[in-house]
Structure 1
Amino acid sequence: MKKRSLLILFCVAMMSSSIYAQKIKIKTGIEVLKQTNFKAIEGKRVGLITNPTGVDNNLKSTIDILHEAPNVNLVALYGPEHGVRGDVHAGDKVDTFTDPNTGVPVYSLYGATRKPTAEMLEGIEVLVYDIQDIGCRSYTYISTMYLAMEAAAENNIAFVVLDRPNPVGGLKVEGNLVEDGFISFVSQLKIPYLYGLTCGELALMINKEMMSTS
């Protein structure tokens, strides 16, 4: 598949609190996006892949933040496993519907299809991904991200990852790689079971190593 324009938003700032200790202040991707007045997606028709982990420092949903931003045109949501609002049980089909809070259509990425179709992406100029993850291959969100990146490349759509730190540390890399013949939605990528990357870092690796330059 083709490489596509990919932007990762994430910021870590080190601030001295004393001569012996340092306080680490982290800005997640959505905080960086807000701080820059949504410059990366300003004036664009935006599609958002997210779930309840996509929140700002005040626990406000990225869905509502983008919907309320006057210079952002949020036109579509895409529901991974558990749905955009987290109200679907594990493994259950996610439906396509209209989000009652925003009136924005929600397309299922965990139902009849797990890859955004051309029809789902019609009119979208930038596809934004904002989901917290723990660096474990069997979590289906990275499979959703991979297939969404593939679809974005095929439809000439920019892809933006609003990155977040790994809440369990992200320092451990262990486990086997997926063998040929065993690729599935819980093992979509040939990476270790614990792969030690944030979603943004993984997206950069996918873009560099798994997507062609043609």
Structure 2
Amino acid sequence: MSADARADIVKRLSGVQLPDGRDIGWCVDRLDVLVEARTIDQVEAEAMARLAPLVEACLGEKPLYEEVEEVMIWLISKYIARSALELRPTTFTADDFGRALDDSVRRATGRRRDGSTELLMKLKLKLRAAEIPEPEAEAQHDAMLAYRRTYRASVGTRRRAYDDLADQINAICTLTMAKRRAGRLAAGSAAYFETLVAVSELPEVTSRQFTLAEAHAVLSDITARCQNRYADAS
């Protein structure tokens, strides 16, 4: 490159601190740029392929294609494009990217109300306290994952209906836990049975707005991400 172009790059990046003591000019002198003829679709496809495993790690399950695309849009628009407009360069570490990714995943999926990104794969352990056999627990786990994908793909009134159903089931779980701790209900399978009966009698289920299978899947989702309702952790 020309001396003027080199000087301009060094000036723009003058605020970047390099960990090994080398200066920006040293890096610019060794910078190679490969120019290829690629369409925007090809660039996006490669970015999506790299992002998908990272999004899956945040969610604890395979994301929808639309969700990965939305995460990419959030990352580019909020964390890349905005910082590129700043007068001085911004240091962006691996930890910074991790936080940006977590925030983008939360915004894209809208899955959790508490804003956490902890993996939600604890259902089997919690069902073990309810004396649920392993094959049945695995089936409930699969139903839970199917519900999560359905919920994240839903919009409008259907999503609000799912939220209302989840609120009702969460209230049932809280009541079951309170009964158990007050000594009015035995822990384990008895608490689990009490919860299932109450869920099956919800108006949303008896009116067939939601099937019993859908309600059970919502219950499994709540069980996985909330405090264990069937027995206190040891």
Decide which structure has greater helix share: 2
Decide which structure has greater strand share: 1
Q: Which has the larger radius of gyration?
A: 2
Same fold flag (TM > 0.5): no
Larger relative contact order (Cα-Cα within 8 Å, sequence gap ≥ 6)? 1
Identify the TM-score tier after normalising by the shorter chain.
under 0.3
Normalization by structure 2: what TM-score? Answer: 0.19
